[in-house]
């Protein structure tokens, strides 16, 4: 991947339309990045709106601040740009002293600045230290520690569960064998081990052979699925009536969590199916705007290959 196309916001028009921002809106970009989506949203917010942007990467936050502040003052919304993780959404929004929000966007996955920075170890295409922490200042667990200390069973479990890698057990065994000779400290070393573990015939299709294992390690390092569940639950609580929640996911594990979370708030009845009427009185909290996810058009994928696996889901607070 090149930074040129990874800086292009995915499903931009669809997201801005879905946010449906009202007058005097409070909009939260829970994954601010380089403010690709927020820059366009700010034009709708105007000077009467409040834009709260959240990112845990200092470089991205600084770049986003500069971009958003380039909007003329008389057309720029009030900005509240916060360093943090959307898993801590309750704490972050409490610090803004607001009663609720009108729309929130999650653009999940790894940001371009993280992939581009070789020392972060996210990329399987460039050699670097096996780190993969999204917030090195607060996190201690690294991919290097996982690769060199988890036993074969635990390595198999996370690789299989977080990536659907069919060769998970074999990759785990090869990792354990390789680290017995010397610690695996760099991404290039790990790529070589993974390539050796996957038979040559299986490496000819399905993209880079290390892609799925690197995804699994990244998810484990950053507790991404747990953080996502926590962030989505908090977002629904903070939404004002009529407020919109818009989520772009990039792999099936994320999309399944978004789908299930939305469904749990849209279908809250716990009555046995044989009862003719609901007696539990648990009312729906969300209405599903998208029953099936919106996908990028072939034209967008041609312009921006990062969009290839994107899925957009939208719901509205009752």
Binding positions for S-adenosyl-L-methionine are 35-37, 55, 86, 107, 114
| Contact call for residues 246 and 104 (beta carbons, < 8 A) | yes
| Pairwise CA distance, residues 108 & 11, whole Å | 13
| Contact call for residues 9 and 312 (beta carbons, < 8 A) | no
3-class state of residue 249 by DSSP: strand
| Pairwise CA distance, residues 93 & 121, whole Å | 31
Instruction: Report residue 183: phi and psi, to 5°.
Output: -60, 145
Half-sphere exposure (CA, 13 Å, Cβ side) for 141?
11
| Contact call for residues 132 and 219 (beta carbons, < 8 A) | no
- CA quadruple 53, 56, 62, 67: dihedral positive or negative? negative
- Round to the nearest angstrom and report the end-to-end CA distance of the chain: 40
Q: Which secondary structure element, helix H or strand E, spans residue 263, and what is its range?
A: helix 252-266
Cα 173 to the chain's mean position, in Å? 30
| Contact call for residues 209 and 198 (beta carbons, < 8 A) | yes
Instruction: Report residue 289: phi and psi, to 5°.
Output: -80, -35
Single out the residue of 154, 156, 175 nearest to residue 166, CA to CA: 156
Tokens of 107: 């653009």
| Contact call for residues 109 and 253 (beta carbons, < 8 A) | no
- CA quadruple 102, 109, 162, 313: dihedral positive or negative? positive
List binding-site positions. 35-37, 55, 86, 107, 114
Single out the residue of 249, 310, 307, 212 nearest to residue 1, CA to CA: 307
């Amino acid at each position: 991947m090149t930074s040129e196309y990874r800086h292009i916001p995915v499903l931009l028009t669809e997201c801005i339309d879905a946010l449906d921002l009202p007058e005097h809106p409070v909009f939260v970009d829970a994954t601010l990045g380089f403010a690709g989506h927020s820059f366009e949203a700010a034009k709708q917010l105007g000077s009467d709106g409040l834009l709260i942007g959240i990112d845990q990467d200092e470089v991205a936050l600084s770049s986003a601040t500069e971009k958003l502040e380039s909007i003329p003052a008389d057309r720029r919304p009030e900005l509240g740009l916060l360093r943090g993780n959307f898993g801590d959404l309750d704490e972050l929004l409490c610090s803004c002293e607001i009663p609720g929000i009108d729309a929130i966007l999650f653009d999940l996955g790894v940001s371009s600045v993280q992939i581009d920075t070789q020392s972060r170890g996210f990329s399987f295409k460039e050699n670097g230290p096996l780190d993969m922490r999204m917030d090195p200042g607060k996190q201690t667990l690294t991919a290097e520690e996982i690769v060199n200390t988890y036993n074969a069973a635990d390595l198999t479990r996370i690789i299989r569960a977080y990536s659907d890698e069919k060769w998970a057990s074999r990759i785990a065994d090869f990792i354990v064998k390789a680290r017995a000779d010397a610690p695996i400290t760099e991404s290039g070393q790990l790529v070589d081990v993974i390539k050796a573990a996957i038979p040559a015939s299986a490496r000819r299709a399905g993209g880079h052979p290390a892609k799925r294992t690197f995804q699994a390690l990244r998810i484990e390092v950053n507790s991404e699925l747990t953080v996502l569940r926590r962030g989505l639950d908090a977002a629904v609580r903070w939404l004002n009536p009529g407020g919109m929640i818009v989520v772009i996911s990039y792999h099936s594990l994320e999309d399944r969590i978004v789908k299930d979370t939305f469904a749990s708030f849209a279908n809250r009845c716990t009555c046995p199916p044989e009862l003719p009427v609901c007696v539990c009185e648990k009312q729906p909290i969300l209405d599903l705007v998208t029953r099936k996810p919106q996908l990028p058009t072939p034209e967008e994928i041609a312009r921006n290959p990062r969009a290839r696996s994107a899925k957009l889901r939208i719901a509205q607070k009752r």
